Structure 1
């Protein structure tokens, strides 16, 4: 029997967007603490979103090259369930988060060549998120709305579960799920800009359409 498909709605900044995500059946909600992102949330905003997600969906804090002390302090202030590392953090940093903060790490891996997916199992972290590489010169690691060649993941042989991100929308997520679900480690999908009506503002109808399309393909 197939495992339930995990759906992560990332870049939540408003309580109403968080509610739309859980009402649509998303099991993970992402809060962006990477300062260079247009979806960055303050601690006050994060707590408001967390209050909506609490007990209904896992709260994932996304960081990109933040100091370890900031990751720890954010968890203390907000109450996270998981840390997503989306920058240039090394394995020692990921291991320290899991050992000292006590939260599982979702490790983002940007893919533009098959060898990057093949090498991903050597990275520290409890689970992986395969994403598109950012455009040249961009300081923002994710959330660009760009897809990548999903066939590049065929060489990943690791047993750790992974989410697929990068340019997913209600229009293409069904195709993505159909393409990925033959992979034994595929666990779910991640979306941010693909369910927005403007940058940083989610659209409840797009969220619902995304989750419906993803589950229909499963």
Structure 2
């Protein structure tokens, strides 16, 4: 039996965002704690989102080059289910997260070529998130609304599961799924800017459309 496609809505900032995600069947919700992101939430906002996600979707905390102590304190304050590392963290850092905080690590890997996808399997993580590379000089690591060439996924030969991100929208997610599901490791999709009506402002209608399109694919 084929496992259901995992759908992650990232950059949730309000209770309304979270309700739109869970009401339409998203299994993962992302809270951004990366310093440079316009989608960054404070602890008060994070608690409101988590209250909606709890029992309905996995709560993923996204960090990018945050200090280990900050990640641990955020988990203790909010109660995360998974840590997403989206910066330049090394393997020792990812391993420390899993050993000392006790949460699985979803490792974002910027990809432009098949060789970069192939190299991912040498990184430490419980699962990967293949994403587009940020524009040159950008401090923000993700959420730019830019897709990469999905043919590059053919380079990945690993057995660890991965989600596909980077420029996904309700209009192109079905095509992305068809390209990615040729690999046995593909388990889901991740979207942030593709379901926004403005930078960092989610649109419930776009969230619904994205999830419906992903499920139909």
Please list the CA deviations of residues 79-99 of structure 1 after superposition, one character each: whole Å capped at 9, or x if unmatched. 000000000000000000000
Q: Following the alignment from structure 1 to structure 2, what is the Cα–Cα distance between the partners of residues 122 and 179? A: 23
Matched ranges for 1:22-61 at <5 A? 22-61=22-61
Count of residue pairs the alignment pairs up: 217
What residue number does 1:65 align with? 65
Please list the CA deviations of residues 133-190 of structure 1 after superposition, one character each: whole Å capped at 9, or x if unmatched. 0000000000000000000010101111000000000000000111111210000000
What residue number does 1:190 align with? 190
Gaps of 5+ in 2: none
Q: Structure 1 segments of 4 or more deviating over 4 A?
A: none
Q: What SS is found at the alignment partner of 2:56?
A: coil
Gaps of 5+ in 1: none
Q: What SS is found at the alignment partner of 1:119?
A: helix
Q: What SS is found at the alignment partner of 1:159?
A: coil
1:56 is displaced (CA, Å) by 0.4
What residue number does 1:208 align with? 208
Q: Following the alignment from structure 2 to structure 1, what is the Cα–Cα distance between the partners of residues 38 and 197? A: 14
Matched ranges for 1:1-218 at <5 A? 1-217=1-217
Q: Following the alignment from structure 1 to structure 2, what is the Cα–Cα distance between the partners of residues 149 and 176? A: 10
1:112 is displaced (CA, Å) by 1.3
Q: CA RMSD in A?
A: 0.5
Q: Following the alignment from structure 1 to structure 2, what is the Cα–Cα distance between the partners of residues 86 and 181? A: 23
Q: Following the alignment from structure 2 to structure 1, what is the Cα–Cα distance between the partners of residues 159 and 3? A: 15
